[in-house]
Amino acid sequence: MRRRSPPAWSYRRIHILFLLLLATSSSSASAANFTCTTVQAACQSAIGYTTRNATTYAELLSLFNTSTLAELLRANGLPPTAMPPDTAIPAAATVTVPFRCLCNVATRVGRSDYRPIYLVGSQDGLDAIARKVFDGFVTYQEIADASNIPDPNKIFVGQELWIPLPCSCDQVDGHNVTHFAYKVRAVDTTSAIAAKFGVLESTLMRINGITDPKNLVQGQILDVPIPGNDTMARMARKHEGLINQEDINIDLSTLRTATNNFDERNKLGEGGFGVVYKGALPDGQQIAVKRLSNCSRQGINELKNELVLVSKLQHKNLVRLVGVCVENQEKLLVYEYMPKRSLDTILFDPDKSRELSWEKRLKIIIEIARGLEYLHEESRLKIIHRDLKANNILLDSDLTPKISDFGLAKLFGADQSHVITNRVAGTYGYMAPEYAMFGQYSVKSDVFSFGVLILEIVTGRRSMGSYSDHEQSFNLLDLIWQHWNRGTLLELVDPSTLTRAGHGTTNQCSLQADQMLGCIHVGLLCVQANPADRPKLSAVTTMIGGTASLNPPSRPAFWVLPEEDATRAAGTNSSPGGRVMAASANRVSITEIEPR
């Protein structure tokens, strides 16, 4: 007789039971066995919390509700006033979260002082709350016990849960310590963890009941007793939080020596953020030291973004952060030195621009696109630069471009398409119309800025210059549009580039002309009025130098203004017909008028 197959619901039931058993077995033991026997009323403790998704300090403070912003920053080795609550924290960042610990002498267990309190949502389960929301520092059984829940499967939306984080107030070998809850990583060993936090390996193993170092398990929560008088400060230095300060921290005395005490003769530039000096470290490495202004909010944002964003990024077309110094009243950022300075100093100089052959210009365009594509699509972070311009493209000795100045950069979540701000900051002539008028920015607003940059590089003209053509005055985008319609685009190409092209063979000259026209075409596609009509950076890198046919562009978003209006620098305007009008006839940055 033919055997009858079990019904589909049977397989589903078995699968569900298996998952429940797996979840139960993975969470059955205590997340951490922190012995706490002291009669001391309370003490300071902390955990090393790793973010699952991009978040902010405000969201982290709301989740734990165990400290102030100043305490959270201080625990991570950052100045207490360095960052506002909406500062972005990337996914997979490890943040030291301080909290108050209470010892239960009867149970000999330490737990956080009735915080955090978690509000149950519609999709929540205790096991997921324990493992995912609170990173496995607590089990679902511990949450249920602490919150007087008899059946862990029965919780309701809006229910308040006490999350009992592990901790201790006990002395270790007669000394006061801060007990730090550390989650073991795959690469960790007991000796490495002990060395990292300045603890004896034997002490670490004894406190955690480890008899064999080989028994260390990924995800295990360890009690790390951090010694010293100012234990929270030591924890900030030892624990790898948003940045590894041991790797990039540079003493103020070293930077004073490197710049000859910030000698005016070593000054490279100056802006709303402060002053940049050239210097050399003791090993001979040349550096650029950005001394952030104490009287400008821009200095605070600059420090925040460089620490949170740039220190996490590695790409040949992004400027490299060498180090940071926050000491006394000084806030300094140290970068690799770029001997050719910024692109604008060469591109718009009639003599220096001759150094930029067409081959070099094309290389610069392609590599800027690659750096921007990395920020938008390839990095584990998704970053919008918001101030891409020729001034912020630095060149090394080989004219390799590197995107710099992340003072306005913003971190996006994976599912975020755009953000709206009521504080528009950037540079006139490069800002996308939806950002300039409505404060809406996205990857496509960066694409607009890049399109303007392409057109500047090909023509050697500033975007906000005023150019005469047939007895009319145009800005660069509208001038290019006029020549696009007339089929005379090569008339706009930088003459020094055409002269060099003329020295080659006919085929070489023809190829270069095609590449120039192709770049202008791509530039026009990038500056379309509708963000949806602009290509992604991954598509742009394919378009440049490619043979694929391109869609015809529409009129650029910014076009000609009457001369009397073009001299205004007060802001952007929208005409009744919906046309976006250029904001300024000069190249001043909003942040230079209104420092952040």
* Distance between CA atoms of residues 385 and 594, nearest Å: 19
For β-strands 321-327 and 274-280, DSSP reports them as: unpaired
Cβ–Cβ under 8 Å, residues 46 and 77: no
Three-state DSSP at 235 gives helix
Distance of CA 30 to the CA centre of its chain: 35
Cβ–Cβ under 8 Å, residues 440 and 580: no
Q: Per-residue b/e over 13-42, b at no fewer than 16 CB within 10 Å?
A: eeeeeeeeeebeeebeeebbbbbbbeeeee
* Distance between CA atoms of residues 581 and 409, nearest Å: 25
CA atoms within 13 A on the CB side of 363: 11
Question: Any known ligand binding at 290?
Answer: yes
* Distance between CA atoms of residues 571 and 569, nearest Å: 6
- Which amino acids are annotated catalytic? 387
Q: Per-residue b/e over 117-149, b at no fewer than 16 CB within 10 Å?
A: ebebeeebebbebbbebbbbbbbbbbbbebbeb
Pull the structure tokens for residue 579. 């046309």
* Distance between CA atoms of residues 198 and 243, nearest Å: 18
Angle between helices 476-486 and 506-526 (to 10 degrees): 120
Task: Please state the residue numbers annotated as binding site.
Answer: 290
Task: Please state the residue numbers annotated as binding site for ATP.
Answer: 290
